[in-house]
Structure 1
């Protein structure tokens, strides 16, 4: 899997005139393997958006793409010491920087917080819809699938892309359309780098989310009513015990 492309140094606008000419030499690091053994350093020479010449550490030489680029590449490739110095950038600049990124960012993982809920009940002509949401995870690569009675569900699914929260974390939402059946078991399965194995989250059809909210609100109201009633009774008893009874 392609790991990363870093553009970490840009020497731009080294030549500006009234006509708006621009020359730049961006430096890039490419690699695929986690051990960085295939690290590649590329130094491009761009004039007015035309990449006319490029050094590639894998090739070990400069390659020209225009007449001027070919002429300069032939001249530069004769300087073996300069070529070796450029090639060493793959180790000195690329690997050293990337190892730093791995240690503080790329090697870190954060487990997703997963929730499965029903967002639409069946109404006869339309199926029910479940939603499996994964929040606050890193890195962004994640896989969400559905199981029905132990078998992977094919079709009837839609999913968002991994959406950035703007704070290094991501979220994703997967929807499943289905027709409820008695005694069935539906689960959302999440695969992520932070898990040692795929994690399964079972949908509990015994109570919908709105019903749970109503019960929670009702229970809170009942408890509050009991507390207020008890407080009123205690206050009444104290007031009653402090009265002086006058015989008639």
Structure 2
């Protein structure tokens, strides 16, 4: 059997034995349930050029012992973890733990590199407004980039061609459930007629940045747009009504 398998069985048995011993020493009953966790973590620098392997033992919610390949040995964080550190620091287990840098970390990196490190998903970008009562005029602009991967992204706001930095009041980066991310950057401003705002997003999946503009409209322009929409709806309604009357008269003949 491999040293790692022996080590895992030995670790579980040792934790149970020491846990029972502690409760007996304090004249308390051992818990009916307990949580034992063993975590392995890999840290990469420049791909696999520099790899760090960390293994942790957690009893309940407290870390009691860990191994760090950068240190080259195990360290006990509590008295309960001291026997584990001594066991892990034996020559056989140290060799096994050191080999995990290549056998576990480097292998995992190569195995899943195409769906993690090399994965690229382009963001979808839009601008939305937040209005302030009672003026009903936009008081903040929000640039949202959604559905992108990896998480590193840069969003900039421009007003009439000049970058805006002082007005940025919020930056949010959220993780979706499908291994993609979304980012929201809010710009607090008071748009005036004729102002043009630009949201520029840079991401590793893009050859060139995405730029989306938002411009204020005068009251007269809004009135004309509203009048046009109402006129279109009214004309469409009259056309439908005329068609219904025509069909009714035709059936009457």
| Shared fold, TM over 0.5 | yes
Q: Who is 2:26 aligned against?
A: none
Q: Residues 27 and 41 of structure 1 are in contact (CA less than 8 Å); yes or no, is this contact kept in structure 2? A: no
Matches within 5 A, 1:1-248: 14=13, 15=16, 17=20, 18-20=29-31, 24=36, 26-46=38-58, 51-65=63-77, 73=85, 77=89, 79=91, 81-120=92-131, 128-181=139-192, 183-206=194-217, 218=230, 221-222=233-234, 224-232=236-244, 234-235=246-247, 238-239=250-251, 242=253
Corresponding position of 1:5: none
Partners in 2 of 1:215 and 1:119 — Cα distance?
24
TM-score normalised over the length of structure 1 = 0.68
Under a length normalisation based on structure 2, what TM-score does the superposition of the two structures give?
0.67
Closer, same or farther: CA 71–174 of 1 in aligned 2, 3 Å: closer
| Higher helix proportion (structure 1 or 2) | 2
Q: What is the CA distance between 1:103 and its match in structure 2? A: 2.2
Q: Is the 8 A contact 1:146 1:153 kept in 2?
A: yes
The alpha carbon displacement at 1:165 in A equals 4.1
Deviations 1:69-120 (A, max 9, x none): 66775675452x4422221111112222233443224532322222223332
Q: Assess, with a 3 A threshold, how the Cα gap between structure 1 residues 100 and 227 changes in structure 2: closer, same or farther.
A: farther
Provide the C-alpha distance between the structure 2 equivalents of 1:106 and 1:215, rounded to a whole number of angstroms.
53
Contact 1:159 1:172 (C-alpha < 8 Å) held by counterparts? no
Q: Secondary structure at the match of 1:179?
A: coil
> What is the distance in 2 between the residues matched to 1:212 and 1:137?
38
Distance, in Å, in 1 between the alignment partners of 2:73 and 2:240 is: 84
> Per-residue CA shift, 1:113-155, capped at 9, x if unaligned?
222233327988x973222222333333333221122221121
CA RMSD, 1 decimal:
4.1
Q: Please state whether the residue corresponding to 2:101 is helix, strand or coil.
A: helix
| Distance (Å, rounded) in 2 between the aligned partners of 1:175 and 1:239 | 60
Per-residue Cα deviation, 1:33-87 (whole angstroms, up to 9, x for no partner): 25122222222345566645433223333344567866775675452x4422221
